[in-house]
Amino acid sequence: MNRYTEIRRTTKETDIYVRLNLDGSGNAKLDYPIGFMKHMLNTFAKYGLFDIEIQATGDLDVDQHHLVEDTGITLGQCFSKALGDKKGIRRCGFCLFPMDETLARVVADVSGRGFLVFEADLTGTPFVSGGFSFQTDTVADFWQGFAAAAGLTLHFDILRGRSDHHKIEALFKAAACALRDAVEIIPRSKDALPTTKGFLEKPLAVIV
């Protein structure tokens, strides 16, 4: 099974190319202008064992929202396309990820229904380093776009923590691990859909 795809998404605000292999080894090739998000995307690839290539530009003279959100949408579209008919996948994934004082929990369901719960308790204070900043409120925008485009139900929770950096990074690592498990092919059910209800054709593409 070839679970590889690529998508280019171009609007008046952003131009984003994503290539994804769900069955990779965690390699990331990123040409991304926002340093902290580049770090998170690399982390997501590494912990999810996804091979990801991203080239992205956007209207950063406005703010970071458009580029970060549209990156989530494009990556989510790649996930949906690469999953194909979803036969044989485990479907659900779960991860508790500790990062020093922080404990993050992410639960994922490849259901075809895009839904995000995001309870990260972030302060909203931007990160600043070397003259560059990152708008931490765009993290929720990234995952909202990703969940909707991929057709995933995602629950993100910070159970405890102090550092916004640790909270965001732990969530990306937990999401990667949860999704790695959710999209894994189970050999004994490789020809079956993981549902009791069957599959509704697009545009819904819902399996339960």
Give the predicted TM-score (pTM) of the model: 0.91
Backbone angles phi, psi at 196, to 5 degrees: -100, -5
Question: What are the chain's domains?
Answer: 4-189 (3.30.230.40)
Q: How far apart are CA 85 and CA 195, in angstroms?
A: 12
pLDDT of the chain along its 208 residues, tens only? 679 999 999 999 999 999 999 999 999 999 999 999 999 999 999 999 999 999 999 999 999 999 999 999 999 999 999 999 898 899 999 999 999 999 999 999 999 999 999 999 999 999 998 878 999 999 999 999 999 999 999 999 999 999 999 999 999 999 999 999 999 998 876 665 665 566 545 544 544 4
For residue 31, what are its two tokens?
């040409």
Q: How far apart are CA 71 and CA 83, in angstroms?
A: 18
For residue 174, what are its two tokens?
């937990």
Q: How far apart are CA 150 and CA 174, in angstroms?
A: 17
Q: How far apart are CA 5 and CA 101, in angstroms?
A: 37
Exposure pattern of 43-70 as b/e (b: 16+ CB <10 Å)? bbbbbbbbbbbbebebeeeeebbbbbbb
pLDDT of residue 44: 98
